[in-house]
Amino acid sequence: MPSPPVQFRSKGDAILNGVKSRCPQCGEGALFDAWLKVTPECGRCGEELHHERAQDFPPYITITIVGHIVVTLLMIAEASYEWSMGTHLMIWIPLTVILTLALMQPVKGGVVGLQWAIGMFGFGGSEEQVG
């Protein structure tokens, strides 16, 4: 028996709620139990969130964002200043690590919100549904 169609879910709202580490459905409950561990269900509305399968996509997006930021700043600095290699290392390595750690959870939340909005991986009522 086919599963019922997923009711309309706003992709923008779901992604924004996820970026804010909130439940993609109600926007109030916490999305994460720990730094990157998604809670099995929302504590406010009861929406099941254990279906998420973000896996490698959030790190890929994070690497792309951080890479664009750091390489752009590096090129500007290289063209404008004559810094030693040690100065470059002291600036770009910590900046890369800090940006990566700061963006990973919001990006994963956004991916989970998108998965929920389009009914992927069981969010639509069927485990077989892939998008």
pLDDT in tens, 104-131: 999 999 999 999 998 887 777 654 444 4
- For residue 68, the tally of other CB atoms under 10 A from its CB is 10
Instruction: Outline where the chain has alpha helix (H).
Output: 11-19, 57-80, 85-118
Question: Is the pLDDT confidence value at 3 over 60?
Answer: no
Question: Is the pLDDT confidence value at 7 over 60?
Answer: yes
Assess if residue 75 is contained within a domain: yes
Q: What is the pLDDT of residue 128?
A: 46
Tell me the torsion sign for CA atoms 112, 114, 119, 125.
positive
pLDDT in tens, 50-98: 988 888 999 999 999 999 999 999 999 999 999 999 999 999 999 999 9
The whole domain housing 92 covers: 11-118
DSSP state, residue 131: -
Assess if residue 1 is contained within a domain: no
Under a CB-based contact definition with an 8 Å cutoff, are residues 11 and 118 in contact? Answer: yes
Assess if residue 128 is contained within a domain: no
Under a CB-based contact definition with an 8 Å cutoff, are residues 61 and 15 in contact? Answer: no
Strand partners for 30: 22
Q: What is the pLDDT of residue 126?
A: 53
Assess if residue 83 is contained within a domain: yes
Q: What is the pLDDT of residue 24?
A: 94
Q: Give how many domains the chain has, as a whole number.
A: 1
d(CA 124, CA 131): 9
Assess if residue 6 is contained within a domain: no
Assess if residue 51 is contained within a domain: yes
Assess if residue 22 is contained within a domain: yes
Assess if residue 127 is contained within a domain: no
